[in-house]
Amino acid sequence: MFANLKALSDYKNVSFVFKLLSQKRFSLLKVFWIVLIIHIILMVLAVMSMYTFPSKNQPAELQGLFNKYSLISTAAGLAFYTFFYYFAVNHFYHLIANKKGLFHYFTSSILVSFILWGYYLADGYLRPDLQEGAWSPAIALVFFLVCFLLSAVPCMLIAFIASHGDEKKQRKVLEEQKMQLEVEKSNANLNFLKAQINPHFLHNTLNFLYAKSLPYSPELSEGILTLSDIMRYALSEGNLKNGKAALKDEIEHLRNVIRIHQLRYNNNLHVNFEVNGIVNGTTIIPFVLITIVENAFKHGDLKSTEYPIDIRLTVDDNSLQFYCRNKKKAGPKELSTGIGLDNIKKRLDLAYKDQYTLDIKDEHELYTTQLIIHTL
Alpha helices of the chain — where are they, by DSSP H?
Answer: 2-22, 28-52, 58-65, 68-97, 102-126, 137-150, 152-213, 218-235, 247-264, 289-299, 339-352
Task: Give the confidence band of 13 by pLDDT, cuts at 50, 70, 90.
Answer: very low
Cα–Cα distance between 260 and 227 in angstroms, integer?
7
Which of these ranges, 58-62, 201-205, 224-228, 324-328, has the smallest mean pLDDT?
Answer: 58-62
pLDDT in tens, 54-111: 655 555 555 555 666 667 777 877 888 888 888 888 888 888 888 888 888 888 888 8
DSSP code string of 112-152: HHHHHHHHHHHHHHH-TTSPTTSS-HHHHHHHHHHHHHHTH
Comma-separated ranges of CATH 3.30.565.10 domains in the chain: 236-373
Q: Which of 30, 151, 128 is nearest to 72 (CA)?
A: 128
| pLDDT for position 353 | 87
Percentage of the chain with pLDDT > 90?
18
Higher pLDDT, 120 or 277: 277
Higher pLDDT, 73 or 274: 274
**Dihedral of the alpha carbons of 154, 159, 164, 166, in degrees to the nearest 10:** 140
pLDDT in tens, 284-314: 988 899 999 998 998 888 888 888 999 999 9
pLDDT at 16 over 50: no
| pLDDT for position 14 | 42
Homologous superfamily (CATH) for 236-373: Histidine kinase-like ATPase, C-terminal domain (3.30.565.10)
Average pLDDT over residues 168-195: 73
Residues ≥6 apart with Cβ < 8 Å to 365: 307, 327, 328
pLDDT at 152 over 80: no
Higher pLDDT, 103 or 326: 326
Cα–Cα distance between 280 and 263 in angstroms, integer?
28
The answer to whether the beta carbons of residues 372 and 328 sit under 8 Å apart is no
* Run of H or E including 314: strand 309-316
Residues ≥6 apart with Cβ < 8 Å to 278: 315
